[in-house]
């Protein structure tokens, strides 16, 4: 089980930068292991992911007996764009919903509400895909890491397996002009 939700009221700082709060709740082993590492102050290599897998029933994702762990992080538009690019370009090549348009004046309520809907649509598509949600860039994005800033050249040095994502979403909801 992986649920990622975006707070419907994004925040902006004094410079006008809008940040979207992403809350993730999951019992997937990769995320449980990461939470354990955070709690114990250990480095990534010090906790074996197999420990977390012991608590999880791999046959039925939603019927896991492992308790859910939660993460909250704030992300900017460009971080969502970087995640989207990392997943839709080689070596991953996932089919995902399009990114919302980049706008110069993007802090209006209508614009941020529309973006929240489209970002939620994107995260829902990623969460449904069993391969994508385990990608390092997705785990880092949802848990507060920094690998979403990884360039395509860096990604090619750490290739993930070729993915033909089963997430074939329809168009995101569109608002009619008022």
Angle between helices 29-40 and 136-143 in degrees, nearest 10: 50
Number of domains making up the chain: 1
Please give the mean pLDDT across all residues of the chain: 79
Model confidence at 171: pLDDT above 80: no
- Whether the model pTM is above 0.75: no
Judge whether 109 lies within some domain.
Answer: yes
Q: How far apart are CA 145 and CA 132, in angstroms?
A: 16
Q: How far apart are CA 127 and CA 31, in angstroms?
A: 13
Model confidence at 161: pLDDT above 70: no
Judge whether 77 lies within some domain.
Answer: yes
Judge whether 89 lies within some domain.
Answer: yes
Judge whether 178 lies within some domain.
Answer: no
What is the model's pLDDT at position 41?
A: 84
In the three-class reduction of DSSP (H, G, I as helix; E, B as strand; rest coil), residue 121 is classed as helix
Query: What value does the mean pLDDT take over residues 143-150?
Result: 68
Look up the CATH number of the domain holding residue 33. 3.30.1520.10
Phi-psi region of 25 (alpha: psi -120 to 50; beta: other; left: phi over 0): beta
Judge whether 101 lies within some domain.
Answer: yes
Q: pLDDT digit string (tens) for 38-89?
A: 998 876 544 455 555 554 444 445 545 779 999 999 999 999 999 999 999 9
**Cβ burial 8-28 (10 Å sphere, 16+ → b, else e):** eebeeeeeeebbbbbebebbb
């Amino acid at each position: 089980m992986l649920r990622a939700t975006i707070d419907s009221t994004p925040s902006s700082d004094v410079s006008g930068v809008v940040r979207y709060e992403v809350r993730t709740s999951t019992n997937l082993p990769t995320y449980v292991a990461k939470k354990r590492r955070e709690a114990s102050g250990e480095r990534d290599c010090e906790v074996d992911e197999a420990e977390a897998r012991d608590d999880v029933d791999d046959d039925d994702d939603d019927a896991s007996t492992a308790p859910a762990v939660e993460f909250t992080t704030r992300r900017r538009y460009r971080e969502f764009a970087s995640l989207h690019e990392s997943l839709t370009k080689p070596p991953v090549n996932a089919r995902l919903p399009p990114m919302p348009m980049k706008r110069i004046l993007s802090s209006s309520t209508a614009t941020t509400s529309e973006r929240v809907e489209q970002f939620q649509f994107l995260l829902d598509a990623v969460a449904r895909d069993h391969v994508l949600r385990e990608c390092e860039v997705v785990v880092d994005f949802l848990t507060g890491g920094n690998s979403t800033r990884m360039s395509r050249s860096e990604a090619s040095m750490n290739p993930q397996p070729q993915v033909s994502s089963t997430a074939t979403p329809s168009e995101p909801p569109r608002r009619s002009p008022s």
